[in-house]
Amino acid sequence: MTLRIRRILVPIRDLQAVPGTTLRKAAALARTTGARIELFHALDPADSRAPESLDHAQQRLARIARSAWSRGCEVRASVALESPPHEAIVKRAHDSRADLVIAGAHAHGRTKRLFLRNTDWELIRHSPAPLLLVKSRGLYRKPVILVAVDPFHAHAKPARLDAQLLAGAHDMAHLLGGSVHVLHAYMPLPANVEGPLGEPIAWENTEIERIHAKQVRAAFDRLADRAKIAPARRHLEMGDVAGELHAAVRRLRARLVVMGAVSRSGLRRILIGSTAERVLDRLSCDVLILKPAGVKRRVRR
């Protein structure tokens, strides 16, 4: 099993705006797995009022922990004087040996679209545990779980990560009574090539494109076969990743997307590319972020 959830960490960023949906989803997972939930809030030590606010924050967080959402769960609360917030969350996740961090995205503007803030991006990069970003209000009821894979391992993606994503999705489907679908979006071969003087020359070779599509399909099917994904739940699309994933989520009414955060430039750390940022901000459903095994987790001491 890829996901063994025994300890869940839920950062509470604003004690005056309780993230009800995030807490209810954490509780549902905790009841299914028997996991313990820890609510965590960080105060800025540079704030002159922080020492006086510490007791108040602990009392407020304890009241949140005793609310109706936590019925049937073991919940504890902790507050730290630590800044910036993402560093405090990463350190607490490391020290508490959290198996899952659940954080809510933030609504902006009149449309109330849920965008990711700087803290969210830093958690994606540095969280020592899988990260569940909550972007939708609905609870999980036999959800469709969509896994975004890349069988050709582009963007410095480790070969084992796709298998890890699919295994994690199966674990979540088992816990939530859901079903797993898998998607890969790929671009066609370049439509233009350069001539001897650098001028663009129209290039069209349907036979080469057909061979390319066949190779992509074969690699995708091998991956799906190993993960025992039924043909009806395989989605191979030609087009931009962000657009095709967004369209598939809407078409399938997926409630959870499972994605991988990848390392770049040979470094054993996580960097988020522009494609991933477009995908994550555009999605309206929740997102589970998993990382390759062996990636170094940076924890400030």
Could you report the per-residue pLDDT of 30-60, keeping only the tens digit for each?
A: 999 999 999 999 988 877 666 668 888 899 9
- For 103-132, what is the mean pLDDT? 72
Last residue of one domain, picked from the residues 104, 135, 166: 135
Last residue of one domain, picked from the residues 97, 120, 135: 135
**Residue 248 and residue 128 share a domain:** no
Residues whose CB is less than 8 angstroms from the CB of residue 34 and which lie 6 or more positions away in sequence, other chains included: 6
Domain count, the chain: 2
Tokens matching residue 297: 């987790």
Whether residue 149 has pLDDT greater than 70: yes
What's the pLDDT at 252?
Answer: 97
How open is the CA angle 288-180-11, to the nearest 5 degrees? Answer: 20
**Residue 298 and residue 150 share a domain:** yes
Q: Map tokens 């993606």 to a residue.
A: 157
**Helix (H/G/I), strand (E/B), else coil: 169:** helix
Residues whose CB is less than 8 angstroms from the CB of residue 232 and which lie 6 or more positions away in sequence, other chains included: none
Q: Are 103 and 133 in contact (CB under 8 A)?
A: yes
**Residue 241 and residue 147 share a domain:** yes
Confidence bin at 160 (pLDDT 50/70/90):
confident
**Residue 179 and residue 96 share a domain:** no
With a pLDDT cut of 70, the percent of the chain lying above it is 78
- For 114-128, what is the mean pLDDT? 77
Q: If we measure between CA atoms, which residue out of 170, 163, 172 comes closest to residue 132? A: 172
Confidence bin at 188 (pLDDT 50/70/90):
confident
Whether residue 270 has pLDDT greater than 50: no
- For 270-299, what is the mean pLDDT? 70
Please, what is the average pLDDT of the chain? 84
Residues whose CB is less than 8 angstroms from the CB of residue 5 and which lie 6 or more positions away in sequence, other chains included: 29, 33, 35, 99, 100, 175
**Helix (H/G/I), strand (E/B), else coil: 15:** coil
**Residue 180 and residue 34 share a domain:** no
* pLDDT tens readout for residues 218-251: 999 999 999 999 999 999 999 888 889 999 999 9
What's the pLDDT at 191?
Answer: 52
What's the pLDDT at 266?
Answer: 40
**Residue 216 and residue 158 share a domain:** yes
**Residue 126 and residue 25 share a domain:** yes
**Residue 74 and residue 201 share a domain:** no
For the entire predicted model, the pTM comes to: 0.86
Last residue of one domain, picked from the residues 135, 156, 182: 135
**Residue 284 and residue 162 share a domain:** yes
What's the pLDDT at 187?
Answer: 84
Confidence bin at 207 (pLDDT 50/70/90):
confident
Q: Are 252 and 232 in contact (CB under 8 A)?
A: no
**Residue 207 and residue 66 share a domain:** no
What's the domain range around 172? 140-301
What's the pLDDT at 121?
Answer: 80
CATH number, domain with residue 73? 3.40.50.620
Integer Cα distance of 164 and 221 in angstroms: 16
**Residue 125 and residue 269 share a domain:** no
CA pseudo-torsion sign 90, 43, 136, 271: negative
Indicate the helix (H) or strand (E) that contains 52: helix 50-65
Integer Cα distance of 76 and 73 in angstroms: 10
**Residue 196 and residue 79 share a domain:** no
Integer Cα distance of 101 and 107 in angstroms: 19
- Which range in 76-90, 140-154, 172-186, 283-297 is most confidently predicted, on average pLDDT? 172-186
What's the pLDDT at 41?
Answer: 94
